[in-house]
Amino acid sequence: MSDWLNHNMNDFSHHSPSKKELAVKISFMEHQIEKQDQKIATLEAAIKELKSKIQTDGHSVGYLTTEEVTDLLKMCSRTLYSYRKQGRIKGSKFGGKLLFRKADVEQLLDEGLG
């Protein structure tokens, strides 16, 4: 529960809120929910766009280089290597290059980068 909500729930235990106080608090909560819904919609659109780029980048083999993945996901190579070490994404060395399957990059997006 958020700090704000905890604080305000404690207010209720000390006195009964008026209808006006409740209406203000409900309005505030609805506004916060709406803002979160907008953020979620923005993230969903960004993920959809990234998946589209992965599927249409011209690679017929279905693999991306480290540089392509980091550019696409806007992350540094250390983060990608850390994800690989944690087992969050698989990478294969081929010809001295580390390659990542497009499907694995999509799965990482589906699971979330955080």
Instruction: Assess whether pLDDT exceeds 90 at residue 49.
Output: no
Confidence band, pLDDT 50/70/90 cuts, at residue 94: confident
Which of the pair, 64 or 53, is modelled with greater confidence? 64
Please give the pLDDT value at position 30: 94
Which of the pair, 27 or 61, is modelled with greater confidence? 27
Instruction: Assess whether pLDDT exceeds 80 at residue 8.
Output: no
For the whole model, what pTM was predicted? 0.53
Instruction: Kindly list the structural domains of the chain, giving each domain's residue range(s) and its CATH number in brackets, ordered by start.
Output: 1-56 (no CATH), 60-114 (1.10.1660.10)
Residue 43, Cβ density class (10 Å: 0-12 exposed, 13-18 middle, ≥19 buried): exposed
Of the chain, the percentage scoring pLDDT greater than 70 comes to 78
Dump pLDDT digits (tens) for 65-93: 999 999 988 899 999 999 999 999 999 98
φ/ψ (deg, to 5) at 91? -135, 150
